[in-house]
Amino acid sequence: MTKWGLYRSLVIAPIASKSDIVQQARDDFAEAAQYNPAYTVATIGTNEISVLLRSGDNAYMKMFNAPHDSGILVGDVLTINGSHYLCTELSNADDVTLRGSLYECNLMLRFQLGTSAIVERWGIFDSGVYSTTLAETPKGQVGDSQFKLLLPYDAYTCKIQRDKRIATEVLYHVSSTPTLRCYRVTSNDSKASDFGHGKILELKLREDQFSPSKDNVELLICDYIATTALAGTSGGGWV
């Protein structure tokens, strides 16, 4: 691979200022990146971004380098080769590229906020279990598993409050009757991952019971609203 910096130092006038050196390094990165085996194209919404991707600490984590002006923020969801990744860490300390961490999303969360409109967000359902226990109720023992869910922080997800019920998957009884695996939010935290630009919403979840009269199995939505409710019923987000 051509060493462009060395080439220019030999045949072109020396670069005089730090800003020129930084710009030259940015140009060199953009020129060389497309020939790197780690090169790939990620999308955020409709925007395409060139990135260098490498393996992280486990099979679901990736590290990346991207052009300094690519606009990636913590909490962005990048689509790469058909998979969705949440940007969990970001650094622009070298002035040349953005460096960061991505973690593969494993849940498309569907929910409503007081109206019939359905919101969809990719997120990370963390199975690094807080507890896997049973709880005693007047009806007997029920599941009491506790987990964590990471979502992009935005105008919709910030309104997911304590006691909000969410569904993660469809379950089947022995009779093949479908139900939902449901959880209830016990905590809403947007500060734990608030570093630099962009945010991640961290929800603590506790196992909850499926309600046939309120939950929609087909749509994977708890407390389903079939028709538009009165405005203002969704409340506000809080920590």
| Whole-number pLDDT of residue 235 | 33
CA proximity to 53, closest of 30, 31, 32, 36: 36
> How many DSSP H helices and E strands does the chain contain?
2, 14
Structure tokens given for 150: 């990471």
Whether the pLDDT of residue 106 is over 90: the answer is: yes
- Min mean pLDDT across 2-11, 46-55, 68-77, 119-128 is at 2-11
| Whole-number pLDDT of residue 227 | 75
Which tens digit of pLDDT belongs to each residue from 31-79? 777 888 888 999 998 999 999 999 988 888 999 999 888 889 999 999 9
Which tens digit of pLDDT belongs to each residue from 174-227? 778 899 999 999 998 876 555 557 889 999 999 999 999 999 999 999 999 997
CA proximity to 85, closest of 158, 36, 167, 150: 150
| Whole-number pLDDT of residue 104 | 96
Whether the pLDDT of residue 168 is over 90: the answer is: yes
Give the start-to-end residue ranges of the domains of the chain.
4-104, 107-208
Whether the pLDDT of residue 91 is over 70: the answer is: yes
| Whole-number pLDDT of residue 6 | 58
Euclidean distance between CA atoms 216 and 210, whole angstroms: 10
Return the bridge partners of 125, or none.
149
Taking the mean position of all CA atoms in its chain, how far away is CA 33?
25
Residue with tokens 């962009």: 198
Which tens digit of pLDDT belongs to each residue from 135-158? 455 454 455 688 999 999 999 999
Whether the pLDDT of residue 230 is over 50: the answer is: no
Write the CATH number of the domain with boundaries 4-104.
2.40.10
